[in-house]
Structure 1
């Protein structure tokens, strides 16, 4: 085939080019103090929502999906004879889709949007098989919102916005979808917003939609939340083997990672001075209040701006973030954050809050940083609580006055974080236990007779 086909995806596989293409740094907000507090907070939130600083997971995921699409395109256009046979006699091939899952608000949809930016734009293609040109399309994107069945999605692919012609069966639509996908060089299928189908329809309907899409034969990605993944895991083995054997789990950024600090720094830049706090301290406080979920960061900063205006100030500090965390508007989100923190410190799986529990087993290394942060933060808050309880009434009144004036109250002395626990061998653990027993453990004194 021609050079157009060979080079179709070659410019989409470089990590730095991907980063440059998908990064979104909006213009800073301006003149918020001239607006009503609620209107200004909405404007701040709208700008913060636009931020997209791709983390390492997003970059790797985008590159992998582009690579899969590139391989499919190369096989499709291997030769004119291969291309012609797949157009005029499309084979029946069923694929195992990639399941992109994660907590609500963690950035799955933004990553799919970024992936679509990277994939090649439509381009005209001509060959000896037909007259004129065909527009090659890199991917098909579908939203399950408002779709009652897999047949409805296939009709969108076949007819587009045009008029439906007569009555068609799923088999006829599948055959035509395969033919058109091969003719147009479609190399990836993206299916999003599965949670809207899940509501009220059960896992059976979702399974039918996914299996219908997979039957087209394209490399495929579908996005789902944890609660839907739990329901799919309850399906029969033949469904699970088709749909859940290739998961990609998008976790919140690590609290100490460069990705998280870059995102917080960008939030601070976009605020244009309306958020005044050290970036390091702001990153810690935001993670404590949001568990690293970026949708919650936007909600929290929006409410924090409202709190600062209530205090007759024009800029947000850490005290406003704490007040926003305790506000009525953030109550539901705060409860979820606290549940996630409890889960991070305990390996027990509960029957409740399935939407907050990853349905797949995660390596301990993927959870260690979050666990360490949560434990250290809890320890620091206990120390701060003890410190506050030790103050006299006059000292507490002074702290309240400083809060009212917007002055950062003196912080309790923070104990240094413990060194990470080493992975010891069984012999080392036994030796450490015996040493502890010899040096620390003492028999309890007997009661006097």
Structure 2
């Protein structure tokens, strides 16, 4: 029986199976030419949101959490007798929780959702030690939204609701611990902790997180950077418990295989509504989004609106810049600019935007690669400026008439007004008298 129950984790520990199971590739969108622009943009955005192409971090994180769950399962059910003993006398233990943190929009919740897909499903278990059938569960999941106390969290795990009439907290914790051992719960997941940080003081948030780690199984809570900064201001004993096991989700690096795979998926899902014409679309999309996938979806959605304004039904490279400068994208554009300034060590942004600053020390390899990409972009812009300034008027006019590879009609050259003719003092007086006598001055007064 022990081997049979452990075998439930076999597929979850197989990387190829995990990648295949959690990858989400929706069908490409159909033609949007006859759909109103804003509705068409929403259709495209909704399709892009469904995609989930796991990167290396997601696969490694899922593998680690499944491995921890498997180890806990083996500890609880080393034998049927040991299992029964832990049910009647639940061991008291504090487990250091995993803090999954990162910028908003990177896919932390999607990664947790993917983790639940590969964890073993419900299983009916019969034992001579119990009457009837036990319904085993491999994990408990809770969203922090609406959880206002440590009791509400335990009630959710036990009854699936947080407004159930509660008994004494200590009795509730013992029952939750006993149920977790009975049902072989091997992983606790607490998502959306940013919701509990809005209306509650940090002291209550800490009690909820400490309760999570007192149940027994390995635990994960998803935190944004703002909550992380607040936790770092707590006492030493709280920091040692809650921040000892951080897992930092970072944006994919520009030019990385993971980022290119994501952009290729966006192009595929668009169903021909994104046309890159062989140019480095992945690098350009990264430039305007800092590699944050939620922002990338919103930028592409707005880029489609901009393309319709230009008389097209597909997105071209220039539409990304137009979308970035649009009113609809203003808030995201400010965040992206601040992230680039942070990468260059802007202390002003560090103080004013704690939601964008990681409370943990980032790997030097990542920070250096981000700086290099920013410097490369700056060098590119400087080189373009120098090149333009070195051209004469005829060369600029010729450049303005050049058709870019993804353009379908030539751009109009800028028409410069001729320079004003320099007049002598007598000529100026003559023209002034002609203007006043001719009625120009009287018309101006009448207006």
What TM-score bracket applies, with the shorter chain setting the length? 0.7 to 0.9
2:285 counterpart SS class:
helix
CA–CA separation in structure 1 for the residues paired with 2:197 and 2:401: 48
Alpha-carbon contact 2:2-2:79 (below 8 Å) kept: no
Could you say which structure has the larger radius of gyration? 2
**Hey, what does 1:337 align to over in structure 2?**
336
CA–CA separation in structure 1 for the residues paired with 2:35 and 2:401: 29
Instruction: Quickly say closer, same or farther: Cα 1:389–1:150, change in 2 above 3 A.
Output: farther
Alignment of 1:350-369 (within 5 A): 350-369=350-369
**Hey, what does 2:201 align to over in structure 1?**
202
**Hey, what does 2:424 align to over in structure 1?**
none
Alignment of 1:44-83 (within 5 A): 44-83=44-83
The number of residues matched between the two structures is: 409
Alignment of 1:9-408 (within 5 A): 9-161=9-161, 164-165=164-165, 167-278=166-277, 281-346=280-345, 348=347, 350-389=350-389, 395=396, 399=400
Alpha-carbon contact 2:73-2:186 (below 8 Å) kept: yes
Extract unaligned runs of 5+ from structure 1: 410-449
Alpha-carbon contact 1:94-1:216 (below 8 Å) kept: yes
Cα-to-partner distance string for 1:178-224 (whole Å, 9 max, x where unaligned): 01111111000000000011013232221111001111011000001
CA–CA separation in structure 2 for the residues paired with 1:384 and 1:225: 38
Cα-to-partner distance string for 1:137-181 (whole Å, 9 max, x where unaligned): 01000001111111101111222359835x412111100100111
Instruction: Quickly say closer, same or farther: Cα 1:246–1:163, change in 2 above 3 A.
Output: closer
CA–CA separation in structure 1 for the residues paired with 2:408 and 2:340: 29
Instruction: Quickly say closer, same or farther: Cα 1:351–1:406, change in 2 above 3 A.
Output: farther
CA–CA separation in structure 1 for the residues paired with 2:163 and 2:372: 58
Instruction: Quickly say closer, same or farther: Cα 1:393–1:272, change in 2 above 3 A.
Output: farther
CA–CA separation in structure 1 for the residues paired with 2:123 and 2:206: 34
Instruction: Quickly say closer, same or farther: Cα 1:392–1:306, change in 2 above 3 A.
Output: farther
Cα-to-partner distance string for 1:78-123 (whole Å, 9 max, x where unaligned): 0122101111111211111000000000111111011011101111
2:248 counterpart SS class:
strand
Alpha-carbon contact 2:96-2:245 (below 8 Å) kept: yes
TM-superposed deviation, 1:55: 0.5
2:355 counterpart SS class:
helix
Instruction: Quickly say closer, same or farther: Cα 1:408–1:171, change in 2 above 3 A.
Output: farther
CA–CA separation in structure 2 for the residues paired with 1:99 and 1:279: 41
**368-377 vs 293-302, greater mean Cα deviation:** 368-377
CA–CA separation in structure 1 for the residues paired with 2:162 and 2:341: 52
TM-superposed deviation, 1:237: 0.5
Cα-to-partner distance string for 1:220-257 (whole Å, 9 max, x where unaligned): 00001111101111111111001000000000001121
TM-superposed deviation, 1:397: 9.8
Extract unaligned runs of 5+ from structure 2: 412-447
CA–CA separation in structure 2 for the residues paired with 1:315 and 1:228: 40
Alpha-carbon contact 1:304-1:321 (below 8 Å) kept: yes
1:134 counterpart SS class:
strand
CA–CA separation in structure 1 for the residues paired with 2:312 and 2:92: 65
Q: CA RMSD in A?
A: 2.3
CA–CA separation in structure 1 for the residues paired with 2:69 and 2:410: 53
Instruction: Quickly say closer, same or farther: Cα 1:257–1:177, change in 2 above 3 A.
Output: same
CA–CA separation in structure 1 for the residues paired with 2:222 and 2:162: 27
**85-94 vs 243-252, greater mean Cα deviation:** 85-94
